Structure 1
Amino acid sequence: MTSINTNSSATTALRTLQATSKALETTQGRISTGLKIGEAKDNAAYWSISTTLKSDNKSLATVKDALGLGAATVDTAYQGLNKAKEVLDEIKSKLTAATQDGVDRSKIQTEISELQKQLQSIASSSTFSGENWLSVNSSAAGFTSAKTVVSSFSRDSAGSVAIGTIDVNIGTVKLYDSALGSDGILDGAVQLKATDGTNLTFGGAASVSGSTVPGAITSGGIANGAGVGGNATDAATSAYLPGSPLIFDDIADVLTFTVAVDGASSKTVNIRRGTVQNALSDSSNTIQISSAADLVRVVKQGLSDAGVTGVAVSLDASGFLSYTSTASLSTTAMGTRGVVVAGAAFTNTAGAETTSTVLGTVFDAAGGSTTYASAVAKTGMFTGPMLFTGDAKIEFSINVDGAGAVPVTINKAKIDAALGTTDGKINSVAEMQQVIISAIEVDTALEVGFASGDDLLVGALSDGSITFTSRGTGATSAVAVTATTVTQDTTSPVVVTGTSSIGVSTIDITDATMKARGATTDGLPGSALDGAKVRTAITAYITVVNEAINKVTTAASTLGAIAKRIDLQTTFVDTLMDTIEKGVGNLIDADLSEESTRLQALQTKQQLGVQALSIANQSTQQILRLFQ
């Protein structure tokens, strides 16, 4: 049936043309983007998978960068170890030459000393991006010997991610460790051994012997030392009075006082309106002191203008002004340290300020408080081990807070009692500290430890120094260690007993060191050297260097293996990224050959659809002719 109301042929042709145009639009979009799934609406499941995989691939790219950083860090340490081994070979060669009779060992030691410095330079320079695995301080806050290199990124079926690492223990590769009791390859102590492999009974475990001159130290121990109290603080007797400002409303108004610092002559300080304006400089050009904080600032400015140095001004917890000498213990004599501020007066030309206001700024040394820090004496460094035999001893006197010098003696009996041993040997500064504490408490009425009523605190520093700190904090607080003497063993002068150890960094083959270690005809430091003992010692040193070479070689092998693994992992990550990228492409990339063919077909179909719609529309025109 032919109808002028409904042209079903045209409608069908139109719908077909619309579908063709839509398909053509989709195909053109795939061709232009290269993607068959560009948005979630195209295929939600595949779009989600591909998006996650793309994100993971970005993380893998970061892992690849981390592997590159790790590889560079490992390679830096590896190269440092290689160079260190070359230097160790040189030291070994020099020591071998030193075993020959008639050679000048002092000149050889000069070369060895430079090589030892070179080893330290290599270790300290082997740094990449702030990481140094060869020269460390294991006692530093946050230090860990477990280093990691990020090596992988993975996601399980539940969507949980995991980061993989390659672990490196730098405790086995470090050359130097600056912590007390260091155990680096080059600064760690190695047991000296004879050629038959037994522990060498020579060197290192030196007895207390040699000079009896006061203050002398042989093989470590105690040196004379003294310390006095800390800086004095003189506080004002009254705080600034709130609500009672000092107004410099006339050019002649002046706040005057005198200051004497650390026993020096008094200087007069005049604070005028210009001083206030400089100290409180602001947009209102202030001429008024309105608070205690303002007063501190103005006083500091006044002191500076008057050329007064060596004093700090602040507010104490109660709001009082306080004045503190900034002089160090070593530059200021006992009894003169402190600040005296006096003679304060405020002259007001206009007479607007009252007496009570002026009292708010009075500086009165007589009513102030004076405090001192505890006195600390630091003595010589421990360089043992030390072996006490027979009647060998160290003697010194200690004077705490002016109570008078009290003698203290350290000998084998006191060492064994303090350490619970029987060999009379002090191996470290910590043991020396323990022995000194015990000896002081045995020989004197002093109590050590700063518990209730204790007079003295004995400390040990990482550099090997011993410190003595008094409990007193008054003006007479002082500690002095004096009359130090070292007495050799006169009953059994043989010093070749006990075992010993040494590190590569402390090897020394000079005559003085050989004598100090007992390589003499009778074992005493002042005697003639024994060539056989010297060769024995140097041979043992060669063994120490050789062991260090073996450790460095092992460490380098370890880093080499880690470097190889990092290379393999880097290659794997590259391959994995390519694979993931290919997989994502299979999911979402368009097949351009297929889409090109489809495009041509749809374009032809579109042309036919347009032609069909045109023909369908022409049928209505034929009906009009019937009515002509």
Structure 2
Amino acid sequence: MTSILNNAGAISALQTLRSIGSSIATTQGQVSSGSRIQTASDNAAYWSISTTMRSDSMAISAVADALSFAAAKADTAYAALDAVIDVLGEFKSRLVMAREGGVDKGKIQKELEQLKREVQSMAHSASFSGENWLNTDIANIYDFDLNKASSASAFVRAASGGVAVRAMDFHLSAVSLFNSTGGGLLQADARDLETLGGMRRFSSDEPLISDSTVYDGSHGSGWMLPEGSAGGPGIFYLDDFPVGSPLDFTVPGAQISFDIILDKEASNPNNYSGTAAELEELPGPYYLGYPKPITITKADVDAFDPSLGGVITTNTEFAAVLNSVLNVEGAYVSANYGHYVPPGSGSWIHNPKMMSIQTLQAHGDGSYVEIANLSSVGVSAGGLKESFDFGSRGSGMELYFEDFIVHEDGENLDGVEINFTFSVNGGPATSHSFNRTYVNELLGKDSGKVETAEEMAILLHSLIDADWPDLIIEATSPSTIMMKSDPATDRKWGSGTRIEFDSIRVNIEPIPTINFLAIDIATNPDKLSTYIDYIEIATERIIEGAATLGAFQNRIDMQSAFTSKLMFSLDKSIGRLVDADMNEASTRLKALQTQEQLGIQSLQIANSNSENVVLLFR
């Protein structure tokens, strides 16, 4: 029906044209932006996810930049370490050269000083953007919380919506050559436990390398394992050799006769130099000792040394002749007595009158030596006399206490660990260990420090009592601790008794105890061998640090590669959510444009009918 009030065809065509126009605008937006979802109104869920992921992608891009920054710092430090290792090789070669006779050590020291400065220069120059890993300023370089250099390595979003930035840490104690508070690889290691409260001792006045495995002096310095301490052997002294009156055994019938009695136990208080109470606590039976009649004649003198011609003129000759007869019986004679004049001068003055006789404790657990029934014919007794003496009952070891700290040990939260074995009187050794945590819990501290002899005694009791309940451990002064067997239960005498620390191991040793910059072969030529050992240890520590740094560099490279892949993956995932399919969008746009043209033509046709009606009124 034709109406002058409504043009239904035009209205329908106009509505269609409007719908097509809206679709064209949407499709043109997708084609021009490349995005299927541009605003929250397009798809709230997808828009929210894509917007968050784009934000995360920017954060991950920042992580990639941080990794590049960390790689630059690590590369700088590694280049310097590699160069320092080469310089230390030159340094060691100069030290080896200085061992040759006739070499001017003063001139070599001048070369060493220049090499020291070169190492310092390399360490100071190894800086990137103001950060230096080889020349550090760390209050406590052994504290892993303080000595770490951190770099962002990952940006993580949890399922709960929380985010976190993960970091990779590198501990500068592995590569720092010089630290302002000490502890760098070319500085003395402040964690040196020194004598371990007296459990071990110096092998020289100034140890250069703290190493509990050094016990035979082969390093020239360092630490020695403490020798076991035993009760003293029975020994008595003779001070009456007839100086100037030779013992002439060429006289017919000349001889010296006596009985030697060895390793006898004390059978009554009168024969014991200690207290009667100690003897009364120990029931018999008692060992009566090993007796042997001894006769010295010209034949014995000739058997020892025919060049003497049967005549003994000095106490050292007489001691040697006696030893040739008595050693096999279990006694030892010495005449090496005297003193330095002046003290400490190295000039030894021999005492020509003095000798001593002691038991070798070859026949039992006693420690007794006696000369009895002494007589001489045609010759004097050479200063011998009837006498006896006991050694000490039981074992005893006096520790000379020095305070020490059991330090932190990197990732090992329990700190430095000390292991050792302990035995009494040759019994099966027991194994013991302690660390920083053990010391702190035992003494109620957080410093790891054993400060007094009393605290050291407490520590030793806690370690040893369970296996050796009869051992007495007590602080006898602020600087000494006595460890001894209880005479009420230990009936052994003399050198046959023994208290012994052995196999002492500290997990961080060997460590240097001097500074690289303090090496001076001109002033200390006698320490040349130990300087070489020190450089070897220091070089090994730096090589280990460079290896650790190389592993860190490799991790940075792997994390950087992963981060790049992750960023690509995120971009791809975002695209899948919001990017438009350009082939589809362009084809759709073309179709909509065609529909728009047809809609316009339809609107024109619909409007043409209305114009015909209007003509009727003209």
- TM-score by structure 2 length? 0.48
- TM-score by structure 1 length? 0.47
Whichever of the two has the greater Rg, that structure is 2
